[in-house]
Structure 1
């Protein structure tokens, strides 16, 4: 099962001459290209325009979502900073006894 399977030895005679140390190379015929069985995709001008408009729409929507997320993070950070300043001011006022 784990022993290697070697192909049968070549039975063609090997001609050794002084000028050719290696046996003559046997060239197999070139393989014939086989036509693909898959259908080819043919794009019409309307399909290209539709794909371009769809891609542009997707990019704009994703951009708007990312910008809105960034804006939400910025607003949240600013509001937390304002709350921290107000709380610090309130705590400082309560410590002075006013």
Structure 2
């Protein structure tokens, strides 16, 4: 009735064997011969000094700028919070609908088994 069908054997020629040559011998290490040298004293080169000019002015925020930064941060937090809450609500609605579908299917299958 159901007999397996085996694929036909390959007719490709067998690959040629790869002949590897023996590895070359490692070179002999050269012995270390320490040499004596006179110590060299170096005088440090003085570093160039950056010119000292007027200091950069500090950033001063006005009350309007602080108010704008606070309003912008508040808006970002509210928008991100709204998006996250809507995603959580969508997940909850999906879970409830799947649960309702499961209950309906279970009741349909139970009724079919009784008849």
Normalising by structure 2, what TM-score? 0.52
Number of residue pairs aligned between Structure 1 and Structure 2: 72
Instruction: Give, in angstroms, the shift of residue 39 of structure 1.
Output: 6.1
Instruction: Tell me which of 43, 50, 55 is aligned to 2:68.
Output: 50
Instruction: Tell me which of 1, 6, 9 is aligned to 2:41.
Output: 9
Secondary structure of the equivalent of 1:42?
coil
RMSD over aligned Cα, in angstroms?
Answer: 2.9
Instruction: Tell me which of 54, 63, 79 is aligned to 2:81.
Output: 63
Instruction: Tell me which of 67, 72, 97 is aligned to 1:79.
Output: 97
Q: How far apart, in 1, do the equivalents of 2:53 and 2:93 lie?
A: 60
Which deviations, in whole Å up to 9, do the C-alpha atoms of 1:57-83 show, x marking residues without a partner?
A: 110110011001001000100110011
**Structure richer in helix, relative to its length:** 1
For 2:114, the equivalent position in structure 1 comes to: 96
For 2:14, the equivalent position in structure 1 comes to: none
Structure 1: segments with no counterpart, 5+ residues: 1-7, 12-27
Larger Rg: 2
Normalising by structure 1, what TM-score? 0.61
Q: Which has the higher contact order (CA 8 A, sep 6+)?
A: 1
Taking a change above 3 Å as real, the CA distance of residues 88 and 34 of structure 1, as seen in their structure-2 partners, is farther
